[in-house]
Structure 1
Amino acid sequence: MIYGIGTDICDIRRIRATLERKGDRFAEKVLGATELRVFQYRRHRSESRGIAYLATRFSAKEAFSKAIGMGLHMPMTWRSCEILNHPSGQPFIRLHGELAAWFDARRLSAHVTLSDESEQAVSFVVVETLSAPRAP
């Protein structure tokens, strides 16, 4: 059963401007540890791809916060929600700390997709309730 749906569109130029104004502090505030390493690697190889990566993660976290219905209020924090990729490239959500415990207690599962073009990043998240285990 669907618990919630969230979507977000992000102007990559706005993310670029914020990064220029605040420096790496902005990325460190938004990204979890694994995401931050990927961002730094991608940005080192290509500034524009690094910024697009940051924008897609920002957008996906906004969409996730909408799907769970709490916005950016505890236990939802930027760094407690990471948007990572399987080796195939498929994105997935990894939660940490209090947010992970809150999510697990409600038996929820999340699905995320994201995309970017030269000036925009978009994401879509569906959160569903896992069905109860069947009795033997």
Structure 2
Amino acid sequence: MILGIGVDILHLPRLKGLLSRRPDRFLTRILTEVEQKEFKVLQQQAGGADQEGPLRYLGARWALKEASYKALYPHHKLTWQDVTVAKQDGKPTLVIPEKERFGIGKSHCSVSHDGEYLVGQVLFESP
């Protein structure tokens, strides 16, 4: 049975502006420790956080975490740190510790981007 569905759209220039104000504080708020390490590697390879690769990495995590929140709200209120976005076989996947706490059996997610926009969609199934 479907527990919840969430979707989020993000305008990447808005994210770029948010990132430029206080990058370290912003990144530690939005990304888990694992995601922060991956982001820093991408940032070093690309030559900056505002480059296309790192910005899309951050945007995908933002959109999927927002979509996750929307999928479970108002019964559960996920925080940015409750969800880690990882890749499995080239596809995004959600890692949520103690899934039983939220009543989540399986999770499904997808990200798409076109130009300055990025969209994330999440579907949670009950066990």
Displacement, 1:22?
Answer: 1.4
In terms of Rg, which structure is larger?
1
Paired residue type of 2:93? F
CA contact (8 A) 2:3 2:104 kept: no
Alignment check: 8 A CA contact 2:93 2:109 kept: yes
Runs (5+) with no aligned partner, structure 1 = 131-136
- Number of matched pairs: 123
Could you say which residue in structure 2 is the equivalent of 1:77?
79
Q: Partner of 1:116 in structure 2?
A: 113
Q: Tell me which of 48, 52, 64 is aligned to 1:48.
A: 52
Instruction: Output the CA distance in 2 between the equivalents of 1:45 and 1:93.
Output: 25
Distance 2:41 2:113 in 1: 18
Shift of residue 33, structure 1, vs aligned partner: 1.1
Whether the 8 Å CA contact 1:44–1:50 is kept in 2: the answer is no
1:128 equivalent in alignment to 2:122: no
Gaps (5+ residues) in structure 2?
none
Distance in 1, matches of 2:53 and 2:73, equals 30
Contact 1:4 1:67 in 2 (8 A): yes
- With normalisation by structure 1, the TM-score equals 0.82
CA-atom RMSD in angstroms = 1.8
Q: TM-score, normalised by structure 2?
A: 0.87
